[in-house]
Chain A
Amino acid sequence: MAAVSDSVFTGPVLYEGTRIPSPVPSWVQVDPARLEDGNVLEVNFGPNHPSTHGVLRLVVDLDGEEIVGMRAVVGYLHTGFEKSMEQKSWWKAINYPSRIDYLSSFQNELLFVLAIEKLLGIEVPAKATWIRTALSELNRIHSHLVWLGTMGLELGVQSIYFYCFDQRERVLDLFEMVTGVRVHGRYCQAGGLAEDIPPGFVPDARSFCRGLPKAIDEYVHMTEKNKIWLKRTKGIGVVSAEDAIRLGLSGPVLRGSGVNWDLRKREPYLFYDQVDFEVPVYDDGDSYARARVRIDEMRQSLRIAEQCLDRIEELAGDPWISDDRKVVLPPREELQTSMESLIHHFKLVTEGYRVPAGEVYVAIESSRGEQGCYLVSDGGSNPWRVHFRAPSFPSIAAAPTLCQEHLIADLIAISASLDTLLGDCDR
């Protein structure tokens, strides 16, 4: 048994013991003594409220403005993706994951394909992996921009919203250039990518990368020097490293509590072990720290994306998908001349490829934290079981722990700083 090293923890002890409510960890129950004087009012916050990032219902017990009890009710966006995917062949099912977490749509799609590739044991060409790494980081920037804009909107720092969405448009333009659509690209295939990147992508992406640091400076200026932002986030919604781990929080939320934990560094996938970047960690565990982590992360994502673009340029002309004909569609032009290719094409399109029996769990660092995918195959052309580990699901379950003893207005700041996405949570 190796010695347990705690070097992942950087911060001081934020509070002694635990603040997780008991007996139900996701439910702060009202102290019966407070109920007696009749001042406690149960209020439904949502399910339709502009600041809930989707359709989230929070049942809050209020004494005046103070939160004395709270639980979250989810499921309003449950669409049964996992069940639907069992009915589709593997390659048709690739359409679904990007709709689960629609802000990190590319990362979700990538995750599902990585899991299929792990079952198949197929090799992916280096160029495809570099493009995947680059798009994955652009997707992270996109998601963080939407988060920052909407958090500003909710806290009353409204102008930042327009600045963020201006840059977000430019990321979406890049995605549109590569995949043909702005959000749900369906660009990954088992074995590589659906198509090569179009000419002109690298220069456009570089020009975006050149412009964004200045925009991020503006965002920092608009948040760091804004009294509303500072007063509504500093010291609000504190969660200690230990509690965060026990509550299953991951990603920027965990790094905002002083845990140096990023799957891109700790369990590298794609080519994250071949690029230089740092993992921003803040120790305060409050909404402000979580926000700082995400803003700093955008700069690191840019660093990674720029390094990827260099490598993509070096590899121009290389294949973007494996040539395993049992999994990958043959090139279009071969269909006119080769009987073999036509048969493969027909089999792949009608029946789909078969994936060897087994079960795998693959986890990636999505914009929101550990996004996991558990797959079971029976050796057939459809998945037997698909399950997604959604980072938003534990985050919303943890919200009552963070909100207790705060005021109702802080609830907005806390739920925004957790960056939960209800599509991701409800699947």
Chain B
Amino acid sequence: MTGYERIPGLIGEIEDRGETTVVVEKERLSEAALYLQGELGFNFLSDIAATDYLGWGGETAGSWGSADGRDLNVPYTLGLALVPEPKPKRFSVSYHLLALRADPVRLRLQTWLDEGEPVASVVSVWPVADWLEREVYDLMGIVFEGHPNLVRVLMPDDWEGHPLRKDYPIGGEPVRFSGEE
């Protein structure tokens, strides 16, 4: 009825707290984007948000993520009684879509990636994705194939690493002192 079941590459549809998420195969993301924009009228791309799930669930759940996961001895990260649902891959990329019309509909289009896997750019579908994808690339290190100008946007051009990744060291900013060679 909603037309979501005909989205190309659809893996699943999730309803949670009144929000609908459709998960699609990453290979068919641009097809899915075109279908949602052209056929279902999702003309407004609000936001693109990527999440790093490294260390998600089990013993390593928590916020003090590192390459080795979480240290249970760090204060305030008490062992969790509830283990969250495992995630299929390391990164999720969520496109928050809005059908801007008299009967508005919101939808989260989601795709999953492992480290080093690129995803197709949607700049040709929604021009606003230009900077949104640059931000995700900058802070999360996800490469958008076909983006016309994929360079850093918030961090300096010569920055190393992608700060929002869970294995990015906290407080790890190199400090240059005067008088240093």
Contact = CB atoms under 8 A, between A and B. Distances in A.
A374 B47 contact: yes
A24 B130 contact: yes
A382 B62 contact: yes
Contacts of A384: 51, 56, 63
Interface string A73-90: 011001010110011010
Contacts of A275: none
A387 B76 contact: no
A314 B45 CA distance: 41
B19 interface: yes
A372 B48 CA distance: 11
B124 to A, nearest CB: 9
Contacts of A161: none
B155 A8 contact: no
A93 to B, nearest CB: 10
B100 A351 contact: no
B123 to A, nearest CB: 7
Interface in A208-267: 245-248, 259, 261, 266-267
Contacts of B168: 83
Contacts of A118: 17
A374 B51 CA distance: 10
Interface stretch (B24-32, B36-44, B112-120): B36-44
A4 B128 CA distance: 22
B23 to A, nearest CB: 12
Contact of B153 (A6, A25, A74, A267): A74
Nearest to A73: B153
A427 B131 CA distance: 14
Contacts of A350: 76
A246 B129 CA distance: 9
6 contacts: A118-B17, A261-B100, A351-B78, A361-B46, A378-B62, A382-B62
Given A26-B130, A380-B62, 10 more contacts: A1-B1, A75-B152, A78-B154, A83-B164, A83-B170, A361-B49, A379-B61, A385-B52, A397-B128, A397-B131
Q: Please list the 4 inter-chain residue pairs (A to B) with the smallest Cβ-Cβ separation, ordered nearest first.
A: A248-B128, A25-B127, A382-B63, A389-B47
